[in-house]
């Protein structure tokens, strides 16, 4: 004989023997456990599908607030210090019976004589260019005997044709040896055709050997 067991829309027939009943009961338990886990898995998936996604919206940093300047506290200006009265100079009256000193006369000294004003020396003329014609001066015999050397500075006036129209000794070192006369005689024969007419400075040097 077989025992029927309704299970939902299905009908399970179970035998009445002990071994068959144990096998059937074991199958039923496994079927129930499997049905439980399958239904639980379906429910978890449905719950996960129905859960809305969570979105993260970044928040902007807070705007710093402007600090208001502290209120200006008006203070009273410092009061000027009162000026102390200065002592006044009193009239000094002579004491009765005091000796009086007569005023002394100051000697102005001898009168100072003011002489004539010495005019400033004129500026030295420019150095003369190289002469186009040069005459060598003769060495003075006195200077040769004394073995002396010398320098003579001469101011020459050059005319329109380049010839020397005037010559003047302004320095002779050493003197009294004939260097000035020898230099003056030679320079008057020089010519400066490339020079502009005017006064120039010429230095004549006398050297032994």
Position 122 in a domain: no
Q: Is residue 71 part of a domain?
A: no
76 is a domain residue: no
Contact 151, 171 (CB under 8 A): yes
| Rounded average pLDDT over 45-54 | 50
What proportion of the chain, given as a percentage, has pLDDT over 90?
37
Q: How confident is the model at residue 54 (pLDDT cuts 50, 70, 90)?
A: very low
Which residue did the predictor score with more confidence, 186 or 64?
186
What is the secondary structure of 183-198 as a DSSP string? HHHHHTT-B-TTSPSE
List the one residue out of 187, 209, 207 whose CA is nearest residue 199: 187
pLDDT above 60: residue 167: yes
CA distance 203 to 150: 11
pLDDT at position 199 over 50: yes
Tell me: the pLDDT tens digits for 60-103? Answer: 566 666 666 666 656 566 677 776 666 554 554 655 665 565 66
In a domain, 153, yes or no: yes
Residue 95 lies in a domain: no
Domain count across the chain: 2
Is it the case that residue 154 has pLDDT exceeding 50? yes
36 lies in a domain?
Answer: yes
SS3 call for 202: strand
Strand 150-158, strand 198-206: pairing = antiparallel
pLDDT in tens, 9-32: 556 555 556 667 677 777 888 778
- Structural domain for 145, as ranges: 141-206
DSSP single-letter state for residue 56:
-
CATH of the domain at 150: 3.30.2420.10
150 occurs within a structural domain: yes
The better pLDDT of the pair 172, 34 is held by 172
Please give the residue that has the higher pLDDT: either 70 or 167: 167
- Is residue 41 situated within a structural domain? yes
Please give the mean pLDDT across all residues of the chain. Answer: 75
**Count of residues for the chain?**
209
17 CA to centre of own chain: 119
**pTM over 0.75, yes/no:** no
């Amino acid at each position: 004989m077989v025992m029927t067991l309704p299970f939902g829309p299905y009908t399970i027939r179970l035998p009445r023997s002990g071994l068959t009943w144990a096998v059937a009961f074991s199958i039923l338990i496994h079927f129930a456990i499997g049905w439980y886990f399958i239904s639980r898995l379906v429910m978890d998936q449905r719950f996960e599908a129905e859960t809305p996604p969570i979105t993260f919206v970044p928040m902007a940093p807070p705007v710093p607030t402007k600090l208001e300047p502290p209120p200006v506290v008006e203070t009273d200006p410092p009061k000027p210090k009162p000026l102390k009265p200065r002592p006044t100079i009193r009239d000094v009256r002579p004491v009765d019976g005091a000796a009086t000193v007569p005023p002394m006369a100051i000697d102005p000294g001898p009168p100072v004589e003011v002489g004539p004003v010495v005019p400033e020396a004129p500026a030295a003329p420019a150095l003369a260019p190289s002469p186009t014609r040069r005459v060598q001066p003769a060495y003075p015999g006195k200077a040769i005997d004394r073995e002396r050397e010398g320098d003579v500075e001469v101011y020459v006036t050059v005319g329109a044709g380049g010839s020397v129209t005037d010559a003047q000794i302004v320095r002779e070192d050493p003197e009294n040896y004939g260097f000035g006369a020898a230099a003056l005689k030679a320079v008057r024969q020089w010519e400066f055709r490339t020079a502009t007419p005017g006064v120039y400075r010429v230095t004549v040097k006398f050297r032994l050997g």
